[in-house]
Every structure is written in structure tokens, then in C-alpha cells.
A and B are shown apart, each in its own frame.
Chain A
Amino acid sequence: MTRTIPFIIGFLLVVAPFSTPQYPLHLLIMILIWSLVYTAWSLMGRFGLVSLGHGAFMSIGAYVTALLWNYSGISPWIGIPAAMITAAIMAFLVAYPCFQFKIVGHYFALVTLALSEVVKLVIIASRDHTGGSLGFTPNREGDGTSFYALQFADKETFYFVVLGAWVLGLVIWRLVDKSMMRYALDSISEDEDASAAAGIHVTGSKLKITMLSAVLTALGGALYCQYQMFIGPEVIGGIGISLQIVFAVVVGGLYTMMGPTIGAIITLLMTEIFRNWITSLRTEGIDLAGLDTSIYGLMLILFIIFLPKGVLGELIDRLAGGRQKDTS
């Protein structure tokens, strides 16, 4: 029974765009894009490498792609790989010294937080090219649908692009999970010195996973830009987005493949429902702007205090616990 569930979900995901109205389809696309980013973060987050700099990688993915397209006319088909390489270089430049000098835990989180701020501020400061805080819109090609420009006026086509990227993210997560590197990184997160003594290349392993995570995050940022056709330094970067990424993963579950996706579904649906509710209240003349994010923030705190393994992680634990009881 449990074996068939992935096939059913897969089938539903493939037929979804043909039977879904525009608004739920939009939500589905957003969930898939963010799931890709969250999965990318969890690649390194599950090994205790808590980065608050993923907003930077997302911004790099989006801005490099969009700037190359607008100013040089370079197609996103080349622009996105270029953006991913840029993110990898950026990750290397910051992470290599960090790992070499054993900057871990709080310090690593705060150094990456600084990276996230640097990228945001550079985007705001170079407002002549990037539009600064006002945001940036990629030029539309022709009537809005162009394979060359990776722009699609209809949501259905883009849905499949994003679905493919999300599946790619899951496949990579799976490959890492099954690889030797995973055992190496697990052991590093327990004790770096002992792992090094056991012959594990500590810096190398951490660097590889960080760069992989940054590259996938940049892909997510680029897809976000191609879909929304609007990006801003605070919309896809800065401390807010960096924290949002970490939270969604914590809510869903850090140590399972589908955890980040579940986190994306929960957090996005939650914000959408609250937002619609606030908007409907506003039409009745009650202004409660801020209530939605207040509840959101409160729930995040409660999640971390009471469900540190996330919804899916807790669920799996409960099921496993129940099963063990049955056999004993």
C-alpha cells in the first residue's frame, strides 16, 4: 500500500495542471519552487551546517539570470547555468575559509547571515542597474511565450518546468543520502577531529555539500524570477528570506526527503489562508494587517519548542514507535 502512494501522487502531479483552476495552479508552482529551495537548504542543514545565507544564493540565481537577459540578451538557458556557477563560486569563497578555520555553529550561521546582507546591500546600492529596493523586471520576449527566453504566458508549461526542477532536487537529495559522503558528513557533524583522524577529508566534504546546496538554491531563485517576472532584494534575499528558508525546513522536517516539501506546503498554505482572511476582513472595514505574520511567527516558535523534528519527522517517529510497540 505505502509503495503505491508515491505513484499516485506522481500521477496526480502530472495531470494536475489540466484540471486545476489558475489560482491553485499558481500556488502549486510556488510550492514547488520553494520546495526546491528548501530541499537545497536541507542538503547541508541536516548535517548541522545551518546557513542563514541562502537568501544570497537565491538572489544571485535570480539577479544574474535577469541582468544577463536584460543587458546582454543572453538567454536564461545560458544565464541560469552562469548564475549557478556564480553561486558556486560565492559559496566556495565564503565557505572554504569558514571550514578551514573551523567556523561552526553560531559563528557559521552569523557569517552566512553577513553574506546574505552583503548581497542584498550590493543589489540595493547598485540601483542604477538592478533597480535597487524597487525591484527588477526581466524584459518580456514577444507576446510573453518564448522557449528561448524561458518565459511562458500560460501557467501549465511553467508548471512542468518547475516540477522537473523539484524532482531533480529530490533525486539529488536521494543520491546524497545513499552516497558515502552522507556517512562522512554525519560523522563530521558528530565530531570533526575524530572524523579527520578516521581519514575523512573534513573541509572537502563540507565544501562539496555547501556548493551543491548553493547551486540548487540559485536554480530555485532563477526559476522564481522567470515565473514571477519580478524580483526585489527583500523579496528573494536578505535576512527575512534566509530565516524563512530555515523555518520552513524545520516545520516540515529536516532529516527526511519530503520534509522540506511538506514544510513548503504547510507554510505557504498557512500564509495564503491568513492573507486571504485578512483581505476579506479589510473589505468589511476591519484592518488587521500584520495579524497573519504574527500568528505565523508564533507558530514557528511553538514548532521549535514542541516539534523540533518537524511535522513529517515527528509523524515518522510516531509511526515507527507504534510499530515497535506492536512487535514487542
Chain B
Amino acid sequence: MDEIFDIFLLEAIINGILFGGVLALLSLGLNLIFGVVDVVWICYAELVMFGMYTVYWLAGVYDINIFIAALGAIALVSVLGWLVHVLIISPILGTAPINQLLATGGLLFFLQSVATLMFSIEFRNLGLRLPILEFSEMYFSYARLLAFGVALVGMVVVYLFLTRTYIGAAIRAISQDREIMVLMGVNAKKIYWVTASIGGGLAGLAACLLVLQYDVHPFVGISFGPITFIICVLGGLGNMIGGFIAAFILSIIISIGGLYSEIEWGYVFAFAFFIVMMFIRPQGLLGKK
């Protein structure tokens, strides 16, 4: 009896880690934007939702090759990210930070209802059934493994971009001191544009991975938006490695919580854990004081 129980627990933990990959990717984009532009995009998950719809329409309805559809989604959400910055954030960049948070909150309502208007509230899925992997009596979804792998590669690429290229160095520099870097001859506007587009692109990538596992509907963003913010704050807003660790901690908590009871309790434990951790380490796991 004990043996079977342990296998379930192990399966839950591994599934949690796999789920964490996508969450880590989601929080990476949000963290990048926060670290550089110092703005929390409350509507981040809604951008992901548009990416999911793009893949669904291109691949599911128009029968375009799934990889081209994925590239299309990444490009589209990347442009969306740039538009969010240019149209909404830059006019109010100098005002109280909470205004920026609220403006993107307004965008959250807007994107949700535009999606309702355009696609109706039906649940849609790609109809793509990826095989289930069996490994010593434990079952893992192939889609999750793929998502985990792509998320890891995506994060390595972003890391290399930030550390090995000139513009990456400028992005890191401006997140450390936004006044001085402008004096050093860095074009802050250009850096913000690049960051917003990359943040959008990462949302698009996450969308491609999520659409393989979940149905898409206009309110899908609500189901993983809050957990993404929590991950970013738990890791230390703007701290990408912290966000990475936090994603896996929370996804394992959700997964184990869901094993013993309904999945909502998994989320309750994760949010409660976050609130408690905020009191122990208010600056986040790896945040600087």
C-alpha cells in the first residue's frame, strides 16, 4: 500500500515540475518587463490567451503547419506586447506606478471582452492528442514534457541574449539604473520597445505550449494569470532566477495539493504559502533588500 502511495506522490512531484516549466516561462516574460520598465502588466495572461487563439485558428481551423502557426502566434503576441507599451504604458510612464497597473487592468477587461466578441465564449481545443508517456507505472503527458523542454530552451536563449549581446547588456544595465543609463547614451525608448516585444514574444511562446494542454476560451487568462504574478513576486519582482525557482516550488505545491484533495486546494495552499513567504522574505526569495 505504501509503495503505491509513494508512486502517486512521485508522479505528482514530477508532474508539478513539468507544469512549473510553463509557469517559469510565463513569469520570465513578466519579470523581464518589470525589471526593465518597472511596470506590472496585469493583462499578461490575456496576451497569452490571444496567442492561444492564434495557434488555434491557424493550425486548427486553417490547417497551417503547427510550427508556422506557433511562429505566427509568437510574432503576433510580440507585436501586441509592443503595442501595449507604446499605446498604454508610455503615455503614463511618469505617473504613479499604480496607474500603470490599473491601465493594464483595464486592458485585461478589454482583451477578455474583445475575445468574447470575436470568438464567443465556446471552449475550443486544437484536437491534437499527443501520446501519454508511461514510465514504471507513472503517467506523464507528452504535451507537458514538450512544454517543459521548450520552456527550458527558451529560458536559456533569453539568458544568453541578456548576457552575450550588446542590447542584452543595455537591458540589464537599464534595469539597474534607469536614469544613469540614459546619460550614458543608451536610448531608453528603444530598450523599452525591445523589452516589451520580447516579453510579448515569451507570452506567445507560452501560449503555443499551453494550447497543447488546455482548451482556449476568453477567460482562460484568469486561470493562470494570478499564479504568474504570485510567482514573480515570490521570486522577487524583476529577479528572473528567483522567479524560476518560485515557479517550481509553487507548481509542486499545487500538484501535491491536488493529489490529496481537489485541485483548488492545491492553489489555495500555493497562495497561502506565498502570503506566508511574503512575511518571511518580503523582498522575494532572491530579491535584494
Stretch touching chain A among B21-29, B109-117, B143-151, B173-181: B109-117
- Asked if residues B106 and A297 are in contact (CB atoms below 8 Å), the reply is yes
Beyond the given A98-B279, A118-B268, A290-B113, please list 19 additional residue pairs across the A-B interface where CB-CB is below 8 A: A48-B98, A106-B98, A109-B40, A110-B233, A113-B229, A114-B226, A114-B230, A121-B267, A122-B268, A239-B222, A246-B105, A288-B117, A290-B115, A291-B117, A296-B109, A297-B112, A303-B106, A304-B99, A304-B106
Contacts of A124 in B (CB 8 A): 264
B88, CB-defined interface residue at 8 Å: yes
B101, CB-defined interface residue at 8 Å: yes
- Asked if residues A301 and B110 are in contact (CB atoms below 8 Å), the reply is yes
Stretch touching chain A among B89-97, B188-196, B203-211: B89-97
Contacts of A296 in B (CB 8 A): 109, 113
User: What sequence of 0s and 1s flags, for each residue 265-279 of chain B, a beta carbon within 8 Å of any chain A beta carbon?
Assistant: 101100110110011
Contacts A239-B222, A298-B110 hold; do A94 and B91 have CB atoms under 8 A apart?
A: no
Contacts of B226 in A (CB 8 A): 113-114, 117, 239
B72, CB-defined interface residue at 8 Å: no
A74, CB-defined interface residue at 8 Å: no
Q: Return the contact of B107 from the options A103, A125, A297 (Cβ within 8 A).
A: A297
User: Nearest chain B CB to A24's CB is how many angstroms away?
Assistant: 26
A8, CB-defined interface residue at 8 Å: no
A197, CB-defined interface residue at 8 Å: no
A320, CB-defined interface residue at 8 Å: no
B282, CB-defined interface residue at 8 Å: yes
Contacts A125-B265, A239-B226, A294-B113 hold; do A107 and B275 have CB atoms under 8 A apart?
A: no
- Asked if residues A106 and B97 are in contact (CB atoms below 8 Å), the reply is yes
Contacts of A299 in B (CB 8 A): 106
B102, CB-defined interface residue at 8 Å: yes
A247, CB-defined interface residue at 8 Å: yes
User: What sequence of 0s and 1s flags, for each residue 82-109 of chain A, a beta carbon within 8 Å of any chain B beta carbon?
Assistant: 0000000000001001101111011101
CA distance A301 to B42 in the complex (A): 13
CA distance A297 to B222 in the complex (A): 16
- Asked if residues A125 and B278 are in contact (CB atoms below 8 Å), the reply is no
Contacts of A243 in B (CB 8 A): 42, 102, 105, 108-109
CA distance A298 to B116 in the complex (A): 15
- Asked if residues A107 and B237 are in contact (CB atoms below 8 Å), the reply is yes
- Asked if residues A300 and B109 are in contact (CB atoms below 8 Å), the reply is yes
A-B contact pairs, 26 of them (CB 8 A): A48-B98, A50-B101, A98-B279, A101-B279, A101-B282, A105-B97, A110-B233, A121-B268, A124-B264, A125-B261, A243-B105, A243-B109, A290-B113, A290-B114, A290-B218, A293-B109, A297-B111, A297-B113, A299-B106, A300-B102, A300-B106, A301-B107, A301-B110, A303-B106, A305-B91, A308-B95
B225, CB-defined interface residue at 8 Å: yes
Q: Return the contact of B282 from the options A102, A118, A122, A240 (Cβ within 8 A).
A: A102
A268, CB-defined interface residue at 8 Å: no
A250, CB-defined interface residue at 8 Å: yes
B121, CB-defined interface residue at 8 Å: yes
B3, CB-defined interface residue at 8 Å: no
User: Nearest chain B CB to A295's CB is how many angstroms away?
Assistant: 8
- Asked if residues A114 and B271 are in contact (CB atoms below 8 Å), the reply is yes
Interface residues of A (CB under 8 A from B): 48, 50, 94, 97-98, 100-103, 105-107, 109-111, 113-115, 117-118, 121-122, 124-125, 238-240, 243, 246-247, 250, 287-294, 296-301, 303-305, 308
Contacts of A115 in B (CB 8 A): 271, 275
Interface residues of B in 149-195 (CB under 8 A from A): none
Contacts of B268 in A (CB 8 A): 118, 121-122, 125
- Asked if residues A114 and B121 are in contact (CB atoms below 8 Å), the reply is no
B120, CB-defined interface residue at 8 Å: yes
B262, CB-defined interface residue at 8 Å: yes
CA distance A288 to B261 in the complex (A): 40
Contacts of B107 in A (CB 8 A): 297, 301
Q: Return the contact of A111 from the options B99, B103, B267, B275 (Cβ within 8 A).
A: B275
Contacts of A250 in B (CB 8 A): 102
Contacts A121-B264, A288-B117 hold; do A110 and B230 have CB atoms under 8 A apart?
A: yes
Q: Return the contact of B264 from the options A50, A97, A125 (Cβ within 8 A).
A: A125
Interface residues of B in 216-262 (CB under 8 A from A): 218, 222, 225-226, 229-230, 233, 237, 261-262
